[in-house]
């Protein structure tokens, strides 16, 4: 864990004194308040139907008031949407530097954690995510791996080359990890693929850049 903490301190120090060095990883073109804290931005259209309605209802249930941009007959809204995604499939949620196209309650909550903390999670989810943080409440880098995971091998090499410490749980040999894995994977169609997390943030691309971004967001 020492290497990981040193990495976090170094990233924070450099980003504080020369943030331009990390512009290639995290951009401020996302959804932020004037103070620099993350906010929620939601793009919708009245013809979007059930997905947009579900997204709006979910945000309301979490007591989050997003900035809502209805792109119907709204050229400026469409132009703003194109800054984030190429597709016009809605809804599109932007939280800080993070973008989610469509609606998935777990993915929304994992992004909204940056705004509301763990109040967005159920008690069961809180128990799962608790294992993704150390005793100082700093996010861990964790891999839930399965057999024949080519992506796991690649990301291990990347972590080693960047001195990023991580924890890997083999879901075939660790019952507790397998239970957590199935709780998390249910929201993604019960996939048998490996999962990579930084704290509460799923890193879908299995890339170091996404890991560093999540560390910055969640610290």
Return the pLDDT at 49: 94
Q: Are 69 and 42 in contact (CB under 8 A)?
A: yes
Domain 121-218 sits in CATH 3.40.30.10: yes
In order along the chain (219 residues), what is the average pLDDT of each group of 10 residues?
Answer: 49 43 49 93 95 97 96 94 88 94 94 94 95 94 86 90 93 94 82 88 91 86
User: Could you say which architecture CATH assigns to the domain 40-117?
Assistant: 3-Layer(aba) Sandwich (3.40)
- Common-topology check for domains 40-117 and 121-218: yes
In the structure encoding, which two tokens stand for residue 100, read together? Answer: 């989610």
DSSP conformation class of 21 = G
In the structure encoding, which two tokens stand for residue 8, read together? Answer: 């976090």
Return the pLDDT at 64: 95
59/65 Cα distance (integer angstroms) = 7
Return the pLDDT at 16: 43
Domain-by-domain residue ranges, the chain? 40-117, 121-218
Task: State pTM to two decimals.
Answer: 0.79
48-65-199 Cα angle (round to 5): 95
SS3 at position 116:
helix
Spatial neighbors of 43 by CB under 8 A, at least 6 apart, are: 69, 71, 77, 80, 81, 84, 90, 91, 92, 94
Q: Are 217 and 114 in contact (CB under 8 A)?
A: yes
Return the pLDDT at 1: 53
List, in sequence order, the alpha helices (H) in 62-104. 75-82
């Amino acid at each position: 864990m020492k290497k990981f903490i040193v990495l976090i301190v170094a990233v924070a120090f450099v980003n504080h004194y020369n943030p331009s060095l990390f512009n290639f990883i995290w951009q401020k073109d996302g959804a932020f308040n004037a103070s620099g804290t993350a906010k929620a931005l939601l793009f919708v259209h009245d013809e979007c139907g059930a997905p947009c309605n579900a997204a709006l209802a979910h945000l309301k249930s979490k007591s989050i008031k997003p900035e809502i941009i209805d792109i119907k007959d709204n050229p400026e809204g469409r132009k703003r949407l194109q800054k984030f995604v190429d597709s016009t499939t809605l809804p599109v949620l932007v939280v800080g530097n993070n973008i989610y196209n469509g609606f998935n309650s777990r993915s929304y909550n994992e992004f909204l954690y940056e705004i509301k903390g763990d109040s967005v999670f159920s008690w069961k989810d809180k128990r799962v995510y608790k294992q993704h943080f150390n005793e100082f409440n700093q996010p861990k880098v964790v891999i839930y791996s399965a057999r024949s995971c080519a992506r796991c091998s690649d990301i291990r090499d990347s972590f080693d080359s960047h001195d990023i410490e991580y924890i890997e749980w083999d879901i075939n040999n660790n019952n507790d990890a397998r239970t957590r894995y199935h709780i998390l994977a249910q929201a993604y169609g019960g996939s048998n693929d490996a999962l990579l997390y930084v704290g509460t943030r799923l890193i879908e691309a299995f890339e170091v850049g996404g890991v560093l971004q999540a560390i910055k967001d969640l610290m």
